[in-house]
Structure formats: C-alpha cells, structure tokens
Amino acid sequence: MNIIDLIENANKNFPDRQAYKFHEESMTFREVYDTAYSVATKICLNSQENSPIVLILNKNIYVPSIYLGVALSNCFYVALSTEMPKSRIEEIVEFTQAKLIITDGESLDMVKSLKFKGGGIFTIADCINQEKDVSLVESRRKNIIDTNPLYVLFTSGSTGTPKGVVTSHGAVLDYVETFVKTFQISKDEIFGNQAPLDYIAGIRDIYIPMLVGCKTVFLQKNLFSTPKILFEKLNQEKVSTICWVSPALALCCHFGVFDEVKPLYLKKIFFTGSVLDCECLNKWKEELPNALFVNHYGPTEITASCTFYIVDNSLNYKKIPIGKAFANRKVFVLDENNKLAKENQVGEICVTGRCLASGYYKNPQKTKECFVQNPLNDCFPELMYKTGDLGYLGDDGNLYFAGRLDNQIKYMGHKIELGDIEGLANSCKGINETCCIYDTKNSVLVLFYSGEASAREISIFLRESLPSFMIPRKFISLESLPKLYNGKIDRQSLKAQLGL
C-alpha cells in the first residue's frame, strides 16, 4: 500500500462523494483522482523521478490533487508557506535543488521574482488543464515503494542549514489508518481544517477523507481572527470534527465566542501543537458536554502525533496528560543514562515505530543526532527518535509533557527556537544584545534588547527573514540586559519583569 492506493480505492468505492470543500468550490473523489493524473502528467513531462517538487500554494481546493499528482509521478513535495519570507524560500529551493515549482495565480509574481535556477514554474491551472497521459504516469507509479518520501517538511528555524523532515508514504499511511481506527472516523464525518496545508497538522484533514470517504472543509485563515464568523461557518458547513492546534481552541475561549454562537454539530475535538490551558478546556467541555475531547502529542518527526489522551468530561484537570501511545508505535521516557525512567521521573520522550520520519533532508549529521539506535535494544537495529521533549510517566499510567530540553517553545502550534530569533535580532544594526521571552500569560513573544535601534527597525528587519509567528509583538528597550554571575543573560529576571 502507498498513498496512491488510498485515492484509487476512494475512486472505486465512493467516487461521487464530496471530498473537499473550500468557499463555494468542492471536489468529489473522482474529480480529485482524475485531476491528480493531469497534475502527474505535467510533472512527469518536466522532472526526473524521485525529485523534489516545490509547492508554494495558498489554501486552495486543488491542493490535495496537487499533492497526489506529485506522489503519482514518484516524486515528493516540499510545501512552503506563501507567507514564508522570500529569502527563506530561496534558501530552501536552493538547498533542495528543486527543478520545478508549482504555485497559484496569487503567488505567481512573487515566485517569478525568486532566484531560482531550476527554471520550471507552473501554476495550478497549468497542471490541472494538462492533457492526461495515463501510460506515462503508470510507468512512474509502478516504481513507488512505501519507503519513498511523500513529502519533505521544513520546520521553522532561520539560521543555518534548513531542517527538512523526510516522511514516507508508509509513515503517513500508518498514521491515517491508526487514527481512523482509534477514533472510529466514519464517512459521515465532516472535518473543519484549521492548519495551513503545508503544516504537519494538515495531513489528517487531507488524507483521512481518502481512506473513509468523509469530507474536509478548508477554513480560510482570516476566520481565526473573527471567531464569531468562524463558529457560524462551522454550523453552516455542519462541521463535526476538528483537529486544531490548541491556541485556535484557546482563541475561541479567550474571546468568549460561545456567548454568541454555539457549534451545533461538533462531536469530536482533537487538539495538539502545544499545551492547552485547563481553564479553556473546561469551558469547551461545559459548552459541549457530549463531545469527545482528545489531546494529542507528537513532533513532525514522528508524523503528526504519537500519543493521545481522551479527556474524561467529568474530571477537572490541573494538567492534561498527553496519554498513551497510538497502536503500532512505542513511546517511552529515557533518563540521562539511556535507561527507562522510573514512574514520575522526568526524562526525554523517545519514539520507535513505522511512524518515524526517514530523517532530515541532506543533513546526515542532524539525522544521526536525533534518529539513533534504541539504547534498550542491543540485539538488532531499531531506529528511535529522540524528541528533545521532556516528559514522565504518571501514577495513572499516562505520559505527561514536562517542557523542552532546549530553549524551544511552541507558539500557536509552531516550534520556535528562541535562540533563532535572538541570533537574527543580534545582527540587526543598532542592537547590542537581545533576549527573547515567551509571555505565556498573554501568548506574546517579547524581545528585550539594548541598543539605539527602534522597535520599528527591528520588526522590519526580522520580517525580512522570519515568518509572522516568529516575530515578537512586544519590544522592550533596556539600558542593558540583566546578567548572571557567569555573564549569561538572566532570563529569569526578565521573565519576572513580565510577571511570569
């Protein structure tokens, strides 16, 4: 089995069911399948097998067909956000040595202005209007094996070698199948997609419909700035299931949207990406007492999520567990001596199983650091991913998240290395030193700095290289930053200034 078999089965079993909807446009599984062959023909004619195809697309009804078209031609996609700074896009395109970029009409001018040696730039329209050459596509398709990459996903990080997580057909298939089985996802489900489609959380919304015949409604991004209209949209589309990053759920509580509109059809609510505030969870539970609430945990490198916890609606939580491993993967905690940690002892969360990514694209060194031989197994090769996340196994048999080994934070579901922001800010003219703190109370990134640069100058400078979610929204200028005895910046005292 590979991902293409999914859509082929869908086309056989429920061709005329609606698969995706965006605004007023929708597509059936048959249309998705047919369109994928047109896209694949275009790609086969213009690129080598097993090569990266860069996609720079806004949310669009054709995105799933494009993904499948890339896969059908035995290539893999590198989906980049249209909001990524131009310099970063150029860096990644150069790094992957991609020869082909597919984009949409909206982004075409930007893409054409990129420094791009490959040469081939096509729009969605070019791809879907391509005359199909089924035998050409089949000659590629027969070569697909399920350890081939389906996509390479570049995680945030602004400095140094881009970090691209290579994920195989098999890993995605394993996740989708396990998810559907675990939560009994049926063909009547209607997903409301929040995550950008170039982001890991989007894989549920894209691939689950192909397996069970249900539908995903893509919600445009600015709905999340206007929660009331968002909830009205959920009702209008009869959305029954959402897999959203925790901050998107938090946003709805924060603005008290339940007082205005109640989601009438929501039955299953999956949250992931970062720790959800218990107060917020309680609010959701109170409003939707019969809904299923599930916490999810997992980094991109283990394909979407590896543990889940079903919330008990009768309990009041102080801390929501990340729960237990999904079927077909092992998730455990190792202490600093690489031994299994005892109950309640904090250690690093580690994962084995078919869900593991294949490694980092063209980055053997980083791959070797994070994907290692399972130290508990000295009998045969068994790959283990070290998440860099801290956790412990509680008395109740559930895993709990306990922070990061490094200075990484999760903001709105995005992994952010605070050092990346500081490193770049330090190179801004008129800045002496900086320290970036995540204000967890107000969900705001704060940059403390010294130097004569203005907030405006720093913000503009950072926006040239960083995506929006990595830009601090508060800049605090100090004469000099407080130091510890060893000369390092005293983060704790800055946190205290923010009342944290």
Partner 1 sequence: MEELMKILNDARPDLDFSKEDKLIDDNVLDSFDIITIVGDINSTFDININVGDLVPENFNSADAIWNVIQSYLNEQ
Place of tokens 């190792």: 334
CB of 474 to partner 1, least distance (A): 6
- Which residues have CB under 8 Å from 3's CB, separation 6+? 68, 71, 150, 169, 172, 173, 207
Query: Tokens 């489609």 belong to which residue?
Result: 197
Phi, psi of 360 (to 5 degrees): -100, 135
Residue holding tokens 């405006």? Answer: 456
Give burial (CB, 10 Å; 0-12/13-18/19+) of 319. exposed
Q: Where are the beta strands (DSSP E) in 222-287?
A: 241-245, 268-272
What is the spatial distance between Cα 11 and Cα 71, in angstroms, rounded to a whole number?
16
Cβ-based nearer residue to partner 1, 264 or 405? 264
Instruction: State which of residues 314, 337, 456, 487 lies at the interface with partner 1 (CB under 8 A).
Output: 456
User: Which residue from 39, 43, 46, 158 is spatially nearest to 92, judged by alpha carbons?
Assistant: 158
Q: Tell me if 479 contacts partner 1 by CB under 8 A.
A: no
Using CA atoms, how far apart are residues 267 and 488, in angstroms rounded to an integer?
A: 49
The dihedral built from the CA positions of residue 335, 341, 345 and 350, taken in this order, carries a sign that is positive
Q: Pick the stretch among 106-114, 221-229, 303-311, 385-393 that binds partner 1 (CB under 8 A).
A: 221-229
Closest approach, Cβ 225 to partner 1, in A, equals 5
Q: Is 459 in the site for partner 1 (CB under 8 A)?
A: yes
Whichever of 258 and 371 has its CB closer to partner 1, that residue is 258
Structure tokens at 355: 């869900």
C-alpha closest to that of 400 among 295, 326, 283: 295
Report the nearest approach of partner 1 to the CB of residue 134 (Å): 39
State the Rg of the chain over Cα.
Answer: 23
The site that binds partner 1 (CB under 8 A) totals a number of residues, namely 32
Minimum CB separation of residue 228 from partner 1 in Å reads 5
Q: Binding of partner 1 at residue 454 (CB under 8 A)? A: yes
- 371 touches partner 1 (CB under 8 A): no
Near partner 1 in 146-205, by CB under 8 A:
none
DSSP per residue, 26-78: EEEHHHHHHHHHHHHHHHHHHS-TT-EEEEE--S-TTHHHHHHHHHHTT-EEE
Q: Is residue 317 a contact point for partner 1 (CB under 8 A)? A: no
**Candidate residues 442, 480, 492, 493; the one interacting with partner 1 per rule CB under 8 A:** 442
Question: Is residue 112 helix, strand or coil?
Answer: helix
CB of 280 vs partner 1, minimal distance in Å = 13
Question: Rule CB under 8 A: which of 85-144 touch partner 1?
Answer: none
Q: Given the complex with partner 1, which of 228 and 386 has the nearer CB atom?
A: 228
Q: Taking CB under 8 A as the rule, does residue 460 contact partner 1?
A: yes
Query: Which one of the spans 236-244, 248-256, 299-307, 314-322 is the region binding partner 1 (CB under 8 A)?
Result: 248-256
Least Å from the CB of residue 232 to partner 1 = 11
Which tokens go with 405?
Answer: 């080994």
Which residues within the stretch 258-297 sit at the binding site for partner 1 (CB under 8 A)?
Answer: 259-260
Stretch that binds partner 1, among 3-11, 162-170, 218-226, 339-347 (CB under 8 A): 218-226
Residue 255 lies near partner 1 (rule: CB under 8 A): yes
List residues binding partner 1 (CB under 8 A): 221-222, 224-229, 251, 254-257, 259-260, 412, 442-444, 454-456, 458-460, 463, 468-469, 471, 473-475
